[in-house]
Amino acid sequence: MNQLPDIESGRPAKEVTSQLGKFEWFEKGYMPHQTTNKTTITASGTPATLVLTSGNCTDITIFSTGDIVLIEETDQMAFVSAKNTTQVVLTHIDGVSNLVLLQTEGGYLKIIGSRVTEYDGVRGGSRSGEVVLENYLTIFSDSIASTGRYQAGKNWTDGVDHPALVAQKIEEMKLQAERYFLFAPVKGYATSGNYRTSWGHGFLGRISSNVNSYSPTLDEDTFDAHLQEVFAQGGSRKLHMCGSGQLTELNKFLKARYELNPSPVTNIYGVNLKEYVTPFGIVDIVWNPVMDGKFTNYGFT
């Protein structure tokens, strides 16, 4: 992995290792610009303001004093007139009009600018740079061993083929590791006396917004909405890895919309969706047979 420079000193970042089985790395990302309300928020005071707390707002840490905030539910513009560690106060952009209550849970509060006068100095900017992420080491201790009987069977009898057994066991070990890195939902460690064990999370533990699961059916509008969210960041070409159940549902999109007209003698019939084209970009569809059980209906983009 390439070392990223420290955003303040410009020096290369050091690799972070730990004898306790924990490792960290840096990933680039934009600072969050919006959050949502979790409950109804009543406007109060003169003029009426909205007070955001961790109890009624998903994340108040994204706001700074002077931020201009668009309240999407009411289309009102406000600014952050006061902030401390426990609350953020939103006041109407003109400073005298009243804000109205927020009734719908999940409405977006979007930072769109800063409220300053021509005599104000430069605002103190929010720290922007790499985000430190972490995981724990997962040890796979499976091994391959064979007895002299298998060796003798290879050389002197028509018994089980020894190289084939070794190859089969290697494949089983690879599949086990792949299942872990896909489905492990949590990371952590435990100690017993002088011994320590650690386990890292997989896709389910790291990916939240770009995973979907639908049962028993998946409709086109729902899948399009998922991809619209995925394409909000990153490039215009994505990979969607899914189980057999979800792949079947995706292929039904074509069967439902297009009529198949086979010739009188048909040797090939059906559809095989490889790419999904959206206004935002192209998605390559890949089936992963390891995604079985309930994960046949899952997809990672």
Helix axes 244-257, 220-230, angle to 10 degrees: 120
Q: Is residue 188 part of a domain?
A: no
Query: Between β-strands 87-92 and 50-53, what pairing exists: parallel, antiparallel or unpaired?
Result: antiparallel
What is the total count of domains within the chain? 3
Burial classification of residue 71, based on how many CB atoms lie within 10 Å of its CB (0-12 exposed, 13-18 middle, 19 or more buried): buried
d(CA 222, CA 213): 11
Tell me, yes or no, whether 159 and 85 share the same domain.
no
Main-chain dihedrals φ then ψ at residue 155, nearest 5 degrees? -90, -30
Do 243 and 213 meet the contact criterion of CB atoms below 8 Å apart?
no
Q: Is residue 271 part of a domain?
A: yes
Tell me, yes or no, whether 163 and 94 share the same domain.
no
Under DSSP, the state recorded for 235 is -
d(CA 20, CA 34): 36
Two tokens, residue 157: 């009898």
Range of the structural domain that residue 276 is part of? 207-300
Tell me, yes or no, whether 171 and 218 share the same domain.
no
Q: Is residue 59 part of a domain?
A: yes
Tell me, yes or no, whether 148 and 226 share the same domain.
no
| Per-residue model confidence (pLDDT) at position 79 | 95
Tell me, yes or no, whether 213 and 257 share the same domain.
yes
Under DSSP, the state recorded for 103 is -
Q: Give the residue ranges of DSSP H helices in the chain.
A: 148-156, 162-183, 203-206, 220-230, 244-257
> Nearest Cα to 91, choosing from 119, 130, 51?
51
The model's pTM is 0.64
The CATH number covering residue 42 comes to: 2.40.30
Two tokens, residue 266: 């048909």
Two tokens, residue 233: 């960041």
Under DSSP, the state recorded for 47 is T
| Per-residue model confidence (pLDDT) at position 7 | 45
Could you list the mean pLDDT of each consecutive 10-residue stretch along the chain, which spans 301 residues?
Answer: 46 59 70 89 93 93 91 94 94 94 92 84 62 76 70 59 77 87 85 84 78 80 89 87 89 76 66 87 91 87 85
Q: Is residue 39 part of a domain?
A: yes
Q: Is residue 186 part of a domain?
A: no
d(CA 289, CA 23): 30
| Per-residue model confidence (pLDDT) at position 11 | 53
